[in-house]
Structure 1
Amino acid sequence: MFCIDNQSLDPYFNQAVEEYFLKNFDDNIFMLWRNDNAIIVGKHQNTLAEINVNHVKHRGIKVVRRLTGGGAVFHDLGNINYTFIMGYGEEGAKVDFKKYNQPIIDVLAGLGVKAHFSGRNDILIDDQKFSGNAEHIYHKKQRVLHHGTLLYASEIQDISDALNVNPLKFEGKARKSVRSRVTNISSHLKDDIGIDQFRQKVMRHITEMYPDAIPYQLTVKDKAAIQKLADEKYSTWSWNYGYSPKYSLKKGVKTDGGHVEVHLNVYKGVIIELDIFGDFFVNRDIDEVKQALIGVEHQEEAVLEKLKEIKSSEYFDNISEEELVVLFF
């Protein structure tokens, strides 16, 4: 087993690391890593339905789609992530969360903290979640990717703020996250050993569990391939937002020109249907505005650019392009 203590804090790079080792190596892998402020959404989720768009934009939080299913999670430097990439052999592919959660439970037991597996994919202390887990089966090479969060000293309020979104705004078949009561591991330790020492304890436990465990450092070749994958996939709008399943959005706001409400349908990240309602006044036929927006990526910069291009403020009385674009997100 290769044990990787990944020091990168870049969420785009770190998601690419997992895919790189899953698809290009045959060795078993264990990795510890952290992300600077980021929201990591499940593979099958509608990204915009999971995040607080204004908060994310204001705080400069990166949003990244991962390979595994499950719900959206917030990462900061108070959280450690762990990854197992293992062959599943002849017994066949199966999702087995307990197998990969048990080492974490054992580490905490050694620190005097009683943790337990709960529900489908969580680890709890008392009734509070500190670890959410997800898995992806890569059938081509008979390998499974399992990863999970370890909230050690995260900013709990930031988690709530970043993932807080109006549940009535979006409609669709994408999997929605289930919000849980969360806690930090450090809050349950008699003596707070600090996140770095806790990270070392987890790595030491794994190396003791697996006799063939050896440290692995990313080579220049590894880093170049991973960065290429990060640049071409994990940092792109098409993967992080455009990959979302078909969904609908309804939103209304009060402007100086009156109440305006937008209903739109999006497929593969592109607006395919659009209606605009309200008690506003118009100077020109707004069907031209609606038609111009069909086929535009459901991305704030793209929508605003199109609104300015067609000068939508000349269609709506006393409603600027900047006011109108808010309705689309």
Structure 2
Amino acid sequence: MLFLILLANISIAMIFIENEGINDPHLNLALEEYILRNFDRGEDYLLFYINEPSIIIGRNQNTLEEINQSYIDENGVHVVRRISGGGAVYHDLGNLNFSFITDYDNTKLNNFRDFTRPVINTLNNLGVKAELKGRNDILVNDKKISGNAQFSSVKRMFSHGTLLFDCNLEEVGKSLNVKMSKIQSKGHKSVRSRVANISEFLHIPMDIQSFREKIIEEIYDEQEHFRSYYLTAEEWEGVKKLKEEKYGQWDWNYGKSPKFNIHRVKRFSIGEIDIRIFVEKGYIESIKFYGDFFGKEPVGTIEGILTGKRYDLIEIKKALEPVDVHEYFGNVDKQEFVNLLYGPDEI
């Protein structure tokens, strides 16, 4: 019954998009965004995909600080940035990734508890004692088996996640550079000790394709208005164009790290906010926000507001007066945010 309760809650009608066995992460992320921006409003879509070994970087992260570049180069691991927030994750052929693409609904935004509840209930019914902990992770015996993230435009949104089914967990630690602040905040010593595969907990063994087919078959059986859709040749051309122009580009996946002379970082309940500021003659010449936080609006807007302002507490407060920081970073206190920008070094 995996995802069936969720599907019933999301919509009466659900269209399943066939990705036709594509394992290229650049193309799969392009497909997801293409559906979000080009398919009809008023319809809900479900997409499954399985990627080749890859690191999927969160929208606001500094790629070079999240990955083990030498290992990735030596082993041909893809590096692709997604448009949703959150942290970097490792994908391989043992990960089943899912995406629900719907009309925008403010009540669903960052509502991971409601979103993951059907998955947790179903896994519990299968004998897997799963629970939501932290912001967006599903855990079994304090080990992570799923991470989730969201993205929203003005009219549409998607909620997507990865299910660690039979992933090569040793590659997670080799490919990623896990920051000490994250390890300390979670109270764990290593990446390997914090993640596990669903297959380890299932009473009936199966491979990932069987797992995927079982989900799809059950959805077909239970959903009266559930149907499959294959993209047209013209639509695939649009997806491939998006891949070439965005997801296949170094500037999108890595981006240039800015020059800075002030570095401020703090881990909040909503995630880590990492600020790089270049101050010249007392004025903010450039500013960049990094982190694994979830926000609806692009942080580039705040960067633009602060650029050119004096690096002064009063002027920073004045510039941020009309700004709702929750829209950009999630539920973080505005005064704490100002303190991070310009406050005591010990924060």
After superposition, the Cα gap between the structure-2 partners of 1:5 and 1:196, relative to the gap in structure 1 and judged at 3 Å, is same
The CA deviation at 1:242 is 1.0
Change (3 A) 1:110 1:215: farther
CA contact (8 A) 1:52 1:165 kept: no
Preserved contact between residue 109 and residue 150 of structure 2 (Cα < 8 Å):
no
Scaled by the length of structure 2, the TM-score of the pair is 0.64
Q: Which residue of 2 aligns with 1:137?
A: 152
TM-aligned CA deviation for residue 99 of structure 1: 3.3
Give me the whole-angstrom Cα distance separating, in 1, the residues matched to 2:223 and 2:258.
Answer: 40
Partner of 1:313: none
Q: How does 1:76-95 map to 2 (within 5 A)?
A: 76-89=92-105, 94-95=109-110
Match of 1:163 among 171, 176, 179: 176
> Which AA in structure 2 matches 1:135?
Q
Partner SS state of residue 202, structure 1 = helix
Aligned partners of 1:190 and 1:104: how far apart in 2? 17
Partner in structure 2 of residue 181 of structure 1: 194
Given the alignment of the two structures, is residue 8 of structure 1 paired with residue 13 of structure 2, yes or no?
Answer: no
| Mapping 1:1-329, distance limit 5 Å | 1-6=14-19, 7-25=21-39, 26=41, 27-89=43-105, 94-139=109-154, 141=155, 143-164=156-177, 181-207=194-220, 210-242=223-255
1:60-110 deviation line (CA, Å, top 9, x unaligned): 111000010000000000111010111135x66622223332332244234
**Alignment root-mean-square deviation, CA:** 2.8
Distance 1:247 1:154 in 2: 38
Mapped contact 1:93–1:137 kept (Cα < 8 A): no
Does the 8 Å CA contact 1:52/1:164 hold for their aligned counterparts?
yes
The 3-state SS of whatever aligns with 1:18 is helix
Q: Residue 206 of structure 1: CA displacement?
A: 4.1
Aligned partner letter, 2:169: I
SS in structure 1 opposite 2:47? strand
Contact 2:65–2:177 (CA<8 Å) still a contact in 1?
A: no
Number of residues paired by the alignment? Answer: 242
Contact 2:54 2:91 in 1 (8 A): yes
| Alpha-carbon distance in structure 1 between the residues aligned to 2:100 and 2:219 | 10
Q: Structure 1 pair 207/100, CA: closer, same or farther in 2 (3 Å)?
A: farther
What is the CA–CA distance in structure 2 between the aligned matches of 1:196 and 1:102, rounded to whole Å? 24
Q: 1:12 to 1:196 in 2, by over 3 A?
A: same
Supply the AA of the counterpart residue of 2:73.
K
**Aligned-residue identity in percent:** 43
Supply the distance in 1 between the matched residues of 2:199 and 2:259 (Cα, whole angstroms): 40
The answer as to whether partners of 1:108 and 1:114 remain within 8 angstroms in 2 is yes
Say which one has the larger Rg.
Answer: 1
In structure 2, the CA distance between the partners of 1:93 and 1:131, relative to structure 1 (3 Å rule), is: closer
CA contact (8 A) 2:104 2:153 kept: no
Distance 2:102 2:37 in 1: 11
Aligned residues of 1:46 and 1:245 also touching (Cα < 8 A): no
- The one-letter amino acid of 1:123's match is I
Q: Which runs of 5+ in 1 are unaligned?
A: 169-177, 249-264, 273-329
Which residue is equivalent to 1:293? none
Q: 2:303 aligns to what? A: none
Distance 1:51 1:106, change over 3 A: same
Contact persistence 1:78–1:195 (CA under 8 A): yes
Unaligned runs of 5+ in 2: 1-13, 182-189, 262-275, 279-285, 287-347
Contact 1:207 1:213 in 2 (8 A): yes
CA 1:219–1:103: 2 relative to 1, 3 Å: farther
Structure 1 length-normalised TM: 0.67
Quickly say closer, same or farther: Cα 1:266–1:235, change in 2 above 3 A: farther
- 2 CA distance for matches of 1:32 and 1:107? 18
Cα deviation code 1:261-306 (max 9, x no counterpart):
xxxx999xxxx9xxxxxxxxxxxxxxxxxxxxxxxxxxxxxxxxxx
